[in-house]
């Protein structure tokens, strides 16, 4: 299959470069706690051995940053750092990584009286000094509140797209062009629409593709494939990540899935160009990563999928998130949302909090709330996919 890539510029990330002149790069992210140096190094090297072009590590504290310095000594993988909400840690981690990823929506959490433009200028100066690339990573569940307020609440694309465009323009005004952009959502159709629109507006900027909270395999792979086939098949996308909810030892499956999807697209073995069934149950869950505070999250996601199978004919979305960083915001759009802490799981109905329950209690309470939703739909006479 002949694919004409968008004319994106080259961006070097350690030993590789991405852009239209280079093969599509495949990435993943560690799921271990960063301060567990041995486990993190083991996972980075396993991902690298599986063919990961870049491996991302989360850093959210000074101790994480100190651990990263030691981790760097024990791996030759190209490393990206995810700064989460602690953008001020950039100076400590930049000497040890090849790329810095920041989320525009998270910049507002610290120094709220300081304009985001100044924070980005600081990140660009640190990246320049330490020979790092930057990823501007905009996610559906963590858009800057000020940006969301400028758009209709029903507009899922506008705030994300505008945030990405503004940050690109600002970085370029600063004279920094060594960056890529990601615009992610848990809905494959939204991922397709938003990346197509961005690519039309800025065909020169490399895009990192991904469906956030894609969930458990095989569903998570199917959702991701749907988006990637429609984007990569049209020449959009320069690096990818398949985000799967899997145990730590299985993280290299993300690389394998990504490589297979790319190979299939270029060979013309397309399986989709269809949307997910809008009249059926949709389970979304985030990829396991180092922010997860209880590894029981992965097992819980699997249990939720099994327990809710009886409701497969209802148009209900259930989100299972593994941490307190993205969990609260990224469950807002789900009918029922779970975000996991160290000992308790927080349950929501839309944006409304129902309560926090132990890992042993949560499935029973989730079923109760799911049954209520089904009853509401039946009372309203909403059709099912049966």
Residue 377 pLDDT: 85
Residue 144 pLDDT: 84
Residue 383 pLDDT: 54
pTM assigned to the model: 0.80
Residue 275 pLDDT: 42
Residue 84 pLDDT: 77
Q: Which DSSP category does 216 fall into? A: S
Residue 271 pLDDT: 61
Burial of residue 384 (number of CB atoms within 10 Å: 0-12, 13-18, 19+): middle
Residue 321 pLDDT: 86
State the Cα–Cα distance between residues 142 and 151, nearest whole angstrom: 15
For residue 55, what are its two tokens? 């491996």
Q: Which numeric CATH code is attached to 11-266?
A: 3.20.20.20
Residue 28 pLDDT: 97
Q: Which numeric CATH code is attached to 282-380?
A: 3.30.413.10
Q: Which DSSP category does 23 fall into? A: P
Query: Cβ(100)–Cβ(178) under 8 Å?
Result: no
Query: Cβ(208)–Cβ(239) under 8 Å?
Result: yes
Residue 384 pLDDT: 57
For residue 282, what are its two tokens? 């949709």
State the Cα–Cα distance between residues 199 and 7, nearest whole angstrom: 10
State the Cα–Cα distance between residues 295 and 169, nearest whole angstrom: 39
* Residue 138: how many other CB atoms lie within 10 Å: 26
Residue 295 pLDDT: 81
Query: In sequence order, what are the residues at sequence separation of 6 or more whose Cβ sits closer than 8 angstroms to the Cβ of residue 250?
Result: 244
Q: In the block, which residue shows the tokens 């996991």?
A: 340
Residue 197 pLDDT: 97
pLDDT tens digits in sequence order for the chain, 386 residues long: 679 999 999 999 999 999 999 999 999 999 999 999 999 999 999 999 999 999 999 999 999 999 999 999 999 999 999 997 789 999 999 999 999 999 999 998 788 889 999 999 999 999 999 999 999 999 987 888 888 899 998 898 999 999 999 999 999 999 999 999 999 998 999 999 999 999 999 999 999 999 987 889 998 998 999 899 999 999 999 999 999 999 999 999 999 999 999 999 998 777 654 344 667 888 877 776 777 778 888 899 999 999 999 999 998 989 898 887 667 776 777 899 999 999 999 999 988 999 999 999 999 999 999 999 999 988 877 655 54
Residue 128 pLDDT: 98
Residue 274 pLDDT: 39
| Structural domain spans, the chain | 11-266, 282-380
Query: In sequence order, what are the residues at sequence separation of 6 or more whose Cβ sits closer than 8 angstroms to the Cβ of residue 171?
Result: 120, 124, 134, 136, 177, 179
């Amino acid at each position: 299959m002949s694919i004409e890539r968008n004319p994106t510029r080259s961006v070097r990330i350690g030993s590789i470069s991405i852009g239209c002149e280079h093969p599509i790069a495949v990435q993943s992210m560690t799921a271990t706690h960063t301060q567990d140096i041995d486990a993190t190094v083991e996972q980075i090297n396993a991902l690298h051995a599986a063919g990961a072009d870049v491996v991302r590590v989360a850093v959210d504290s000074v101790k994480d940053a100190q651990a990263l310095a030691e981790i760097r000594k024990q791996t030759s993988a190209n490393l990206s750092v995810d700064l989460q909400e602690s953008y001020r840690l950039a100076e400590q981690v930049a000497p040890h990584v090849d790329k810095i990823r920041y989320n525009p929506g998270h910049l507002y959490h610290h120094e709220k009286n300081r304009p985001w433009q100044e924070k980005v200028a600081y990140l660009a100066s640190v990246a320049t000094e330490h020979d790092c690339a930057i990823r501007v990573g905009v996610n559906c569940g963590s858009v800057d509140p000020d940006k969301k307020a400028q758009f209709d609440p029903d507009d899922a694309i506008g705030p994300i797209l505008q945030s990405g465009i503004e940050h690109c323009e600002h970085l370029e005004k600063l004279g920094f062009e060594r960056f890529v952009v990601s615009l992610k959502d848990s809905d494959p159709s939204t991922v397709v629409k938003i990346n197509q629109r961005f690519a039309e507006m800025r065909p020169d900027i490399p895009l990192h593709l991904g469906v956030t909270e894609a969930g458990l395999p095989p569903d998570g792979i199917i959702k991701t494939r749907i988006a990637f086939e429609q984007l990569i098949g049209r020449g959009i996308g320069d690096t990818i990540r398949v985000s799967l909810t899997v145990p730590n030892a299985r993280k290299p499956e993300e690389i394998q899935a990504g490589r297979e999807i790319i190979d299939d697209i270029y060979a013309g073995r397309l399986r989709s160009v269809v949307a997910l069934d809008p009249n059926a149950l949709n389970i979304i869950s985030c990829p396991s990563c180092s922010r997860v505070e209880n590894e029981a999250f992965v097992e819980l996601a699997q249990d939720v999928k099994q327990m809710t199978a009886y409701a497969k004919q209802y148009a209900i979305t259930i989100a299972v998130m593994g941490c307190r960083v993205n969990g609260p915001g990224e469950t807002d759009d789900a009918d029922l949302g779970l975000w996991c802490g160290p000992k308790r799981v927080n349950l929501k109905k839309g944006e409304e909090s129902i309560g926090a329950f132990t890992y042993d209690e949560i499935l029973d309470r989730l079923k109760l709330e799911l049954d209520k939703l089904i009853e509401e739909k039946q009372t309203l006479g909403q059709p099912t996919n049966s």
